[in-house]
Amino acid sequence: MTLATLSEVLQPALAGGYAVGGLVCLGWEDMRAYTRAAEAEGLPVILQAGPSCRKHTPLPVLGKMFRHLAEEVSVPVVAHLDHGYTFEECQEALEAGFTSLMYDGSRKPLQQNIDETARIAEMAHAAGISCEGEIGFVGYSEGAASQGTDPDEAARFARESGVDAMAISVGNVHLQQNREGGLDEARIRAIEALTHVPLVIHGGSGVPVAQRSALARTSKICKFNIGTELRMAFCTALREALAADDQRFDRVQILSQVEAPIETAARAVLRALGPA
Annotated catalytic residue within 82, 104, 150, 164:
82
The mean pLDDT of 121-150, rounded to a whole number, is: 84
The mean pLDDT of 237-256, rounded to a whole number, is: 85
21-58 pLDDT, tens digit per residue, is 999 999 999 999 999 999 999 999 999 999 999 998 99
105-132 pLDDT, tens digit per residue, is 999 999 999 999 999 999 999 999 999 9
What was the pLDDT predicted at 144?
61
pLDDT(141) > 70: no
The mean pLDDT of 95-108, rounded to a whole number, is: 96
What was the pLDDT predicted at 158?
97
Q: Is 82 a catalytic residue?
A: yes
Provide the β-strand partners of residue 23: 47, 226
Average pLDDT, whole number, for the chain?
A: 92
For 243, counting Cβ atoms within 10 Å of its Cβ (0-12 exposed, 13-18 middle, 19+ buried), the class is: exposed
Q: How does residue 145 score in pLDDT terms, banded at 50, 70 and 90? A: low
Helix (H, G, I), strand (E, B) or coil at 227: coil
CA pair distance 136, 154, nearest whole angstrom: 8
Residues 6+ apart with CB under 8 A from 123: 87, 90, 91, 94, 101
CA distance from start to end of the chain: 27
The mean pLDDT of 85-95, rounded to a whole number, is: 97
What was the pLDDT predicted at 143?
58
The mean pLDDT of 144-148, rounded to a whole number, is: 67
What was the pLDDT predicted at 116?
98
Task: Please state, as a whole number, how many other Cβ atoms lie within 10 Å of the Cβ of residue 260.
Answer: 12
Q: At what angle do helices 151-161 and 110-126 cross, to 10 degrees?
A: 40
What was the pLDDT predicted at 167?
95
Q: Which CATH class is domain 3-273?
A: alpha beta
DSSP notation for 111-159: HHHHHHHHHHHHHHHHTT-EEEEEES---BTTSSPP-PPPHHHHHHHHH
The mean pLDDT of 156-172, rounded to a whole number, is: 93
Q: How does residue 260 score in pLDDT terms, banded at 50, 70 and 90? A: very high
CA pair distance 213, 265, nearest whole angstrom: 16
pLDDT(180) > 70: no
pLDDT(17) > 90: yes
CA pair distance 9, 243, nearest whole angstrom: 40
What was the pLDDT predicted at 173?
66
Q: Which is higher by pLDDT, 261 or 173?
A: 261
Phi, psi of 147 (to 5 degrees): -125, 105
65-77 pLDDT, tens digit per residue, is 999 999 999 999 9
Q: What proportion of the chain, given as a percentage, has pLDDT over 70?
A: 93
Residues 6+ apart with CB under 8 A from 157: 110, 113, 114, 117, 133, 135, 163, 166
One-letter amino acid of 137: F
What was the pLDDT predicted at 140?
67
Helix (H, G, I), strand (E, B) or coil at 241: helix
Q: How does residue 177 score in pLDDT terms, banded at 50, 70 and 90? A: low
